[in-house]
């Protein structure tokens, strides 16, 4: 059985949760370390889960191989991979520096990466800014994958008349996939075929669960076939 794309959605949502909590830690240095360590680990899981879930999608392997080469050359991606390895396999962290300022009575706390024995080259910006850039880069990769394979990964697009025709299937086959009698929508004979497909999507599909993240960080969304 093919694994659900919800696995990738879950990993992305986890990374977003850890990232956004980094900004809420204030003076709690230990919390910042914990959330950043977890963020680095989960970001790596995003790419792992994409490979596992999408391996059988036509064209994905070739597409992802090109992206993997770019990630290998990206200094920020290299840093987070090294960070994750140090955290998981050694138990060390590079979140060791911080500063506190008060501007017109408003406190501002920032945290920074400092070298450890296995990681000497570090980003200069504060922890939250660096993590945000890395998350945005990974999210853009996920968005491109979803866009490229929306007929496989987004149930709204999967359950379209055109997609089922390409697979040599019918509306009755789509209905049966949801566990209903094949004639379930045929009984509503007053509806045109296109409206029956829309009725099926409205009642039985959930769509992309990452649109809030896409909107917030990329200013984009994965639109559905019925969106105006």
CA distance 145 to 168: 25
- Confidence band for 188, pLDDT divided at 50, 70 and 90: low
- Tokens coding 127: 């922890």
According to the model, what pLDDT value does residue 138 have?
95
- Tokens coding 169: 């299937």
- Confidence band for 60, pLDDT divided at 50, 70 and 90: confident
Return the SS3 of 173: helix
According to the model, what pLDDT value does residue 187 have?
65
CA separation (Å) from 168 to 130, 141, 161, 164, 173? Answer: 48, 31, 10, 6, 10
According to the model, what pLDDT value does residue 1 have?
37
With b for 16 or more beta-carbon neighbours within 10 A and e for fewer, the 177-189 pattern comes to: eeeeeeebbeeee
DSSP collapsed to 3 states, 63-105: HHHHHHHHHHHCHHHHHHHHHHHHHHHHCCCCEEEEEEEEECC
Rg (the chain; Cα; Å): 22
- Confidence band for 2, pLDDT divided at 50, 70 and 90: low
- Which residue from 89, 80, 187 is spatially nearest to 134, judged by alpha carbons? 80
pLDDT mean across residues, the chain: 90
Q: Roughly how many angstroms between the first and final C-alpha of the chain, as a whole number?
A: 34
According to the model, what pLDDT value does residue 189 have?
65
* Residue in the structure block whose two tokens are 């390409």: 166
Instruction: Identify whether the C-beta of residue 23 lies closer than 8 Å to the C-beta of residue 31.
Output: no
- Confidence band for 46, pLDDT divided at 50, 70 and 90: very high
According to the model, what pLDDT value does residue 57 have?
82
H helix or E strand, kind and range, residue 155: helix 155-158
- Tokens coding 174: 């789509």
pLDDT at 228 over 80: no
Instruction: Identify whether the C-beta of residue 80 lies closer than 8 Å to the C-beta of residue 43.
Output: yes
CA distance 225 to 201: 9
Specify the higher pLDDT residue, 1 or 178.
Answer: 178
Task: Kindly report the pTM of this predicted structure.
Answer: 0.89
The string of pLDDT tens digits covering residues 113-164 is: 999 999 999 999 999 999 999 999 999 999 999 898 888 889 999 999 999 9
Looking at residues 58-63, what average pLDDT do you find? 85
Looking at residues 79-102, what average pLDDT do you find? 91
């Amino acid at each position: 059985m093919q694994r659900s794309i919800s696995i990738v959605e879950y990993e992305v949502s986890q990374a977003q949760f850890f990232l956004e909590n980094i900004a809420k830690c204030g003076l709690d240095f230990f919390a910042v370390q914990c959330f950043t360590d977890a963020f680095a680990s989960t970001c790596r899981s995003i790419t792992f889960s994409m490979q596992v879930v999408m391996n059988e999608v036509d064209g994905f392997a070739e597409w992802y191989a090109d992206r993997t080469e770019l990630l290998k050359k990206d200094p920020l991606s290299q840093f987070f991979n090294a960070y994750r390895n140090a955290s998981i396999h050694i138990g060390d962290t590079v979140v060791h520096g911080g500063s506190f300022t008060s501007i017109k009575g408003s406190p501002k706390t920032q945290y920074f990466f400092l070298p450890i024995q296995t990681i000497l080259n570090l980003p200069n910006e504060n922890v939250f800014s660096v993590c945000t850039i890395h998350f945005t880069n990974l999210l853009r990769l996920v968005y491109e994958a979803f866009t490229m394979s929306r007929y496989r990964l987004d149930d709204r697009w999967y359950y379209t008349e055109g997609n089922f025709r390409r697979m040599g299937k019918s509306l009755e086959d789509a209905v049966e996939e949801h566990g209903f009698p094949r004639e379930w929508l045929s009984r509503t004979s007053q509806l045109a075929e296109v409206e029956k497909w829309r009725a099926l999507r409205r009642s039985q599909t959930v769509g992309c669960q990452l649109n809030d993240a896409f909107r917030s960080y990329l200013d984009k969304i994965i639109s559905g076939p019925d969106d105006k």
